[in-house]
Chain A
Amino acid sequence: MSQPDDGQPKPSVDEALRAAERRKASARRTAWIIAGIAIAFFVASLVHGHLVGISNWVPPH
């Protein structure tokens, strides 16, 4: 890691906090999208089983 006194302007505390909040919000969005994908795979496996079952289903006597 380079040292901070490299001539670059340092971010203020407020800017750093806002950047952290932005990252948090972005992480939450990512989490919901991935959770949606996981739920889709769960539902897809049940639908697959259901459709295969329907085509072969014999009513119980």
Chain B
Amino acid sequence: MSTPAVEVGHYQEHHQSFFERWFMSTNHKDIGTLYLCFSFLMLFVGGSFAMLIRAELFEPGMQLMQPYFFNELTAMHGLVMIFGVIMPAFVGLANWMIPMQIGAPDMALPRLNNLSFWLLPFAFILLLSTFFMPGGAPAAGWTMYPPLVLQGGESIAFLIFSIHLLGISSVLGSINIIATILNMRAPGVDLMKMSMFCWSWLITSFLVIAVMPVLSGAVTMVLFDRFFGTNFFNAAAGGDPVMYQHVFWFFGHPEVYIMILPAFGIISEIVPTFARKPLFGYRAMVYAIACIAFLSFLVWSHHMFTVGLPLGAEVFFMYATMLIAVPTGVKIFNWVTTMWKGSLSFETPMLWAIGFIVLFSIGGFSGVMMALVPADFQYYGTYFIVAHFHYVLVGGALFSIIGATYYWLPKWSGHMYSGFWSKLHFWSSVISVNVLFFPQQFLGFAGMPRRIPDYNVAFANWNMVSSIGGFWFGATQLIFVGVVIHCVFFSRAKASSRVWEHAYGLEWTLPSPAPHHSFTVPPVVDDSQLVQTGATAH
């Protein structure tokens, strides 16, 4: 840690009451912690829905619930996991790490940051309260397709208002991240010397800015169709239900990359540290993320191949989708090449990063299979799709979030966690997640449709295996709770400032735990501090 070039006193810490600190905070670390705790809580809410779904599907026949409640669970599981777990967790990590990695004292707009977070709990109170309303929770899937969504109860208004709040929260958060990265970097932290995590979030933020308002527009039209007599999506009155799918997936596909690009940034931080080499092809990695983000706007109709598109459109969207495999392949290649001939060690974050690379590749390959129009007619609406996006979002996004937590937790808390329990968490997770989702690919190939509470006895065996994997994976996450709580509150093993031997980046120049305000004055940076990005290696 260097001596600051000049002392400026207006960022001094001051004593705060519990209420002031956690409810009125404008500090990026406190808000980051709130985001992470919130997404941790929602992981168990959404996970409990998944446990109920897998319990019902444990064997053929109706076991535990009515079919409509099953549909409510599948819809709410998707909404909670996407908007309540993956996105807030990445925003939490961004809040914690971006100011520390660019040498800023805080986010550029701290009060906006507070507002961004506090919209979330209210949005989810609204959303989850729909379970207790007459007519039940929305049950038309997380995609909320009309006309099905219009046939639900009054709770659709609460669903749409909560989507609006979540959209505002995400957009405000992204505005803050863009403003921070473009304006608050310390002298010497040029854009092309910035950490990959910051780069991934800068590009992701532009995706959020472009597509979350489009989702808001789509659900606003649904709201007007349901309550104010318009007919945007009512075919009987000249509306077009397929238009909803176009508008929704113009949001929905970039949303997939909103949930995976920050993961790419995290993996690009972890792998070089434990391979003890600079990241291979830093510039190529930056351009690959930008290329993926650009292409993500051109592929939305691959979610709609079976809806009856013109052949030319299907061919265009097929090739555009397959094109995304190129920059994604660049990233996988560069991570593997970073590890190649490196002095590898397998601390817990590295295990999660390698798990990410393998599982995300499985999910990515099945994605390329579905890009093929003729093949997609077989896969569409089956459990093959369910297996695909769970490999990407659990094996990909969630694994990267857990890996990031194990990577930066000592920096946040000032303590080391248990190596044994954290590695047990990994091995149990990586085995159980495959027991859970790999059989779903077989079920999909065999033709088992998604979103059904009962199924043909021909699908019984693999469903039972999948459910066992689900319960196993769910129970395993309790180890994560134990490791984090023990590390934060009970661990006596102090963490050094540079927690990992070969970790480079400005965050590791701060003491552990990091001080309340990261850099009260801009640090004087030289390139050797940023070698982790490979910025000095080309």
List chain A residues, Cβ under 8 A from B184: 23, 27
Cα distance, A6 to B3, chains bound together (Å): 12
Q: Are A49 and B247 in contact (CB under 8 A)?
A: yes
- For the residues of A in contact with B, the DSSP-based class is helix
Least CB distance from A43 to B in Å reads 8
The chain B residue sitting closest to A9, CB to CB, is B5
Interface residues on A, range: 35 or more
List chain B residues, Cβ under 8 A from A41: 209-211, 213-214, 217
Cα distance, A41 to B526, chains bound together (Å): 40
Interface residues of A in 1-40 (CB under 8 A from B): 1-4, 6, 10-13, 16-17, 19-20, 23-24, 26-28, 30-31, 34-35, 37-39
Interface residues of B in 155-176 (CB under 8 A from A): 171, 174-176
Q: Are B509 and A31 in contact (CB under 8 A)?
A: no
List chain A residues, Cβ under 8 A from B180: 27
Q: Are A56 and B2 in contact (CB under 8 A)?
A: no
Cα distance, A56 to B232, chains bound together (Å): 9
Cα distance, A38 to B213, chains bound together (Å): 6
Q: Are B216 and A42 in contact (CB under 8 A)?
A: yes
Cα distance, A57 to B171, chains bound together (Å): 33
Given contacts A17-B10, A34-B174, contact A45 B218 (CB under 8 A): yes
Cα distance, A28 to B4, chains bound together (Å): 26
Q: Are B523 and A1 in contact (CB under 8 A)?
A: yes
Q: Are A34 and B2 in contact (CB under 8 A)?
A: no
List chain A residues, Cβ under 8 A from B506: 1
Cα distance, A28 to B522, chains bound together (Å): 19
14 residue pairs from A and B, CB less than 8 Å apart: A2-B524, A13-B7, A23-B108, A27-B182, A34-B209, A37-B209, A38-B171, A38-B210, A39-B213, A41-B211, A42-B214, A42-B216, A46-B220, A49-B243
With A4-B4, A45-B218, A56-B238 already in contact, 12 other A-B pairs whose C-beta atoms are closer than 8 Å: A1-B525, A17-B8, A19-B522, A30-B108, A30-B175, A31-B109, A38-B175, A41-B209, A41-B210, A41-B214, A42-B216, A45-B250
Interface residues in chain A, defined as those with a beta carbon under 8 Å from any beta carbon in chain B = 1-4, 6, 10-13, 16-17, 19-20, 23-24, 26-28, 30-31, 34-35, 37-39, 41-46, 48-49, 52-53, 56-58, 60
